[in-house]
Structures are given as structure tokens and as C-alpha cells.
């Protein structure tokens, strides 16, 4: 189905669904009590709104892979601790493997762990329900250090050129309450975030990918970034962010685009903090 047809049916579905009331109910209630409709669209919209729950057709890791997930995730965290948070955001796969071999505090990735990471990177995510493009095609994709710049007091980097220009404009127009909450992320950083989410989701890869891009699929790797309100902590990554003055000012600017809009057809939750740059 093309995007226009999806959006047309989605708008109609939401109008009949009396969205705020219906979406406060559990998924099965919604399915059973709404008029019969294109089930594909109904499923997609329900999963977008109620992203943090299990569905019958979700894809789970096999039990044996859960152990590899735990081991790889712990090792990635040890690599991050060794190289530092800022450097880890730029660290590529080959260098991470070298570091793991050189530092006893990290310990070398086992063959099985490396095979597991490859399996995750090259999985067909459309099976999870994710319809996003894949801006980074190979697990060894590198960030060229000359192309990025550290943004003071944030612990994050941005790509030089348009991403930094967009960020500076936002700072200028929204004021000093707006902050960069996540910038450039390497494949390894995305692995750490995605595996952490998959662990918290009990191995439900579909659930994890509804709120966190699998490695290779994150546009943080090529220029997008997240912004938030100073001092708002983890609420910057929840829908509470839409209640802030910062969000209101961002939308008032009129020209910014959020990559994951409300009720998008990508299989990703609404992310009102993620600025689309590329």
C-alpha cells in the first residue's frame, strides 16, 4: 500500500475510533470493539500508540540467543566504560573488537557473540514490523571523525554542515531551555541501546524496534539528532515532552520535520523530540 493510501485510511480509522478514548483501552478491546476495517492499518496504528506491549505476531529472540544478548550487551557496556561515553558514540565495529581484545577489563568478544551481533545487524526487520530505510548498510560502517564536532556541555557530537546549522538555529530561536539530548551515534552505540531495549522487552525484537532503531537503521548515524528541555531528564523521551514550551516553540517554527510523526506508517512510535535532518 502506498503512503497516501495508508494515510487516508489511517485518518478515517482514527476519526471513527475516537482515538483518545479508544487508545486508553487494551489492544484486544480495541480490536474487538471497532468496526471491521483494514486489519493491517488497524494493527499498525494500535502498535504505534501502544508500542510497549507484546502482540501475537511479534518476533522474539530464541532462548539460546538471550544469553548471547546478555553477554554482548555487558561487553559493549564495558567497552563504553573503557573508551568513555563521548568516544563510544563514534566507535566503529572493528575498533570495538580490537579494544575488546586489548583490554582485560573488557575481554574479547567470543565468536558466538560476534555471530549474534551480525545476525542482529543483518536481520530482515520488516518481519519485526519496521518499515524504515537502512542508512548504514554494513556492520563495519565508520564515522569519519573530521566530519563531526563535539557540542560543549552535552556529551554529544553532531555532523558538521547542515546538522550543526539546524541545531544552532534551534538554539537561537527556541532559547537556552532547549538542549541536545542525543547526537551522532555509531553502529556500536546503536547496538548498545537496541540490545538494552531488547533485554528490557524480554527478547521481543518487534517491541524494541517500535521505540528504538536496530543498528544500521538509526538516522543518528547520518545526521539526525534529538532535542529536549533542560533539566527534564528521561521525560524528554516520553510524550510528556509535547507538553513543554520547548516542544511548542519547536513546532511553532513551522519548518522543522520530526522523522517519526504521530501515526506514521514506519512501524515506529511518535517521537516528538527527533529532528529529521537528512
Sign of CA dihedral 153, 147, 173, 258: negative
| Closer CB to Zn ion, 58 or 226, in the complex | 226
Number of residues that bind Zn ion (CB under 5 A): 2
Give the residue with the Cβ less far from Zn ion, 224 or 263. Answer: 224
Closest to Zn ion by CB, 113 or 226: 226
The three three-digit cell numbers of residue 267, written as one number: 512501524
Cα 37 to chain centroid distance, Å, stands at: 29
Output the smallest distance, CB 221 to Zn ion, in A: 11
Minimum CB separation of residue 16 from Zn ion in Å reads: 32
Residue 12 Cβ, how far from Zn ion at the closest point, in Å?
30
Q: Are 151 and 105 in contact (CB under 8 A)?
A: no
Q: What minimum distance in Å lies between the beta carbon of 271 and Zn ion?
A: 6
Does 226 contact Zn ion by CB under 5 A? yes
The CA–CA distances, whole Å, from 253 to 7, 177, 200, 247 equal: 24, 15, 36, 10
Whether the Cβ atoms of residue 239 and residue 274 lie closer than 8 Å to each other: no
- Decide if residue 274 touches Zn ion (CB under 5 A): yes
The reply to whether 265 sits near Zn ion by the rule CB under 5 A is no
What is d(CA 231, CA 234) in angstroms, rounded to the nearest whole number?
A: 9
- Using only the alpha carbons of the chain, give its radius of gyration: 20
Residue number of the CB atom closest to Zn ion: 274
CB of residue 13 to Zn ion, shortest distance in Å: 27
Question: Least distance to Zn ion from the beta carbon of 182, Å?
Answer: 6
**In sequence order, which residues have a C-beta less than 8 Å from that of residue 226 and are 6 or more positions away?**
180, 181, 182, 183, 220, 236, 237, 271, 273, 274, 275
Q: Does 58 bind Zn ion (CB under 5 A)?
A: no
Name which of 183 and 203 has its Cβ closer to Zn ion: 183
Stretch that binds Zn ion, among 34-42, 120-128, 220-228, 236-244 (CB under 5 A): 220-228
- Residues contributing to the site for Zn ion (CB under 5 A): 226, 274
Amino acid at each position: 500500500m502506498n503512503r497516501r493510501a495508508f494515510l487516508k485510511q489511517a485518518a478515517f480509522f482514527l476519526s471513527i475510533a475516537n482515538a483518545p478514548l479508544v487508545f486508553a483501552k487494551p489492544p484486544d478491546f480495541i480490536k474487538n470493539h471497532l468496526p471491521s476495517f483494514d486489519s493491517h492499518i488497524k494493527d499498525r496504528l494500535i502498535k504505534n500508540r501502544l508500542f510497549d506491549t507484546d502482540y501475537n505476531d511479534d518476533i522474539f529472540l530464541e532462548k539460546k540467543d538471550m544469553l548471547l544478548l546478555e553477554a554482548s550487551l555487558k561487553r559493549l557496556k564495558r567497552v563504553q566504560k573503557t573508551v568513555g561515553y563521548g568516544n563510544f558514540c563514534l566507535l566503529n565495529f572493528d575498533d570495538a573488537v580490537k579494544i575488546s581484545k586489548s583490554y582485560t577489563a573488557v575481554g574479547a568478544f567470543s565468536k558466538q557473540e560476534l555471530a549474534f551481533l551480525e545476525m542482529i545487524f543483518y536481520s530482515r526487520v520488516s518481519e519485526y514490523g519496521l518499515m524504515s530505510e537502512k542508512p548504514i548498510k554494513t556492520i563495519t560502517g565508520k564515522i569519519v571523525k573530521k566530519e563531526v564536532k563535539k557540542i560543549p556541555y552535552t556529551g554529544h557530537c553532531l555532523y558538521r554542515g547542515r546538522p550543526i546549522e539546524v541545531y544552532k538555529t534551534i538554539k537561537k530561536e527556541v532559547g537556552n531551555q532547549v538542549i541536545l539530548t542525543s547526537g551522532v551515534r555509531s553502529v556500536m552505540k546503536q547496538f548498545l541501546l537496541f540490545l538494552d531495549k531488547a533485554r528490557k522487552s524480554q527478547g521481543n525484537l518487534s517491541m524494541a524496534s517500535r521505540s528504538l532503531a536496530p543498528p544500521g537503521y538509526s538516522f543518528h548515524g547520518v545526521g539526525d539528532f534529538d532535542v529536549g528541555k533542560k533539566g527534564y531528564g528521561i521525560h524528554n523521551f516520553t510524550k510528556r515532552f509535547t507538553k513543554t514550551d520547548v516542544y511548542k516553540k519547536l513546532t511553532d517554527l513551522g519548518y522543522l520535520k520530526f522523522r517519526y510523526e504521530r501515526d506514521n506508517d514506519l512501524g515506529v512510535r511518535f517521537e516528538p523530540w527527533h529532528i529529521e535532518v537528512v
